[in-house]
């Protein structure tokens, strides 16, 4: 019994020696949001931001644990834990991502929603009010808009 224990210890020691040095953990050198500017055309518009994590040589690394996302102005846009941005009001804000001491940001611009349909209906209603007969009104509604 003593010989088998000794052999087991010797085998374990040889296996550990054959493996060499344990791998050092790869440290994150930089975190980059791929989009530097995001344009959202409407309130409730959504865009997903993509992130690249880099090592010291600039190579891409797998996504580490938890990334921390924040918005500089949550009245304009918010961001969730996955980097998905949602517009709330017209304006500009910066979305930031951080992992350990590494950070990056992207500008998010929210433009006012253009209510094209409502505007077209207003124009048609004005034209209908000015039409003198029902036949004139039918022609106004069917006429293509410039």
Indicate the pTM of the whole model: 0.60
pLDDT of 145: 53
Long-range contacts of 88-93 (CB under 8 A, 24+ apart): 88/43, 88/44, 89/43, 90/43
Give the pLDDT band (50/70/90) at residue 65: confident
Convert the pLDDT of each residue in 29-40 to its tens digit. Answer: 899 999 999 999
Give the pLDDT band (50/70/90) at residue 142: low
Q: How far apart are CA 92 and CA 72, in angstroms?
A: 9
Long-range contacts of 125-132 (CB under 8 A, 24+ apart): none
- Tell me phi and psi for residue 57, to 5 degrees: -90, 5
Convert the pLDDT of each residue in 98-110 to its tens digit. Answer: 998 899 999 999 9
Which residues lie across from 127 on neighbouring strands? none
Find out whether 95 and 49 touch, Cβ atoms under 8 Å: yes
The dihedral over CA atoms of 135, 139, 142, 145, expressed in degrees to the nearest 10, equals -150
Q: Which of 54-58, 61-65, 93-97 has the highest mean pLDDT?
A: 93-97
């Amino acid at each position: 019994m003593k010989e088998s224990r000794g052999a087991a210890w010797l085998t374990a020691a040889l296996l550990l020696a054959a493996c060499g040095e344990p791998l050092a953990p790869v440290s994150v050198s930089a975190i980059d949001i791929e989009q530097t500017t995001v344009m959202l055309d409407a309130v409730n518009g959504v865009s997903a931001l993509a992130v690249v994590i880099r090592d010291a040589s600039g190579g891409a690394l797998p996504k580490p644990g938890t990334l921390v996302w924040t918005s500089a102005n949550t009245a304009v846009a918010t961001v969730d834990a996955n980097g998905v941005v949602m517009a709330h009001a017209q304006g500009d804000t910066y979305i930031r991502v951080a992992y350990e001491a590494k950070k990056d940001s992207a500008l998010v611009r929210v433009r006012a929603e253009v209510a094209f349909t409502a505007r077209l209906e207003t124009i048609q209603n004005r034209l209908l009010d000015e039409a003198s007969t029902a036949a004139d009104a039918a022609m106004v509604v069917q006429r293509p808009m410039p």
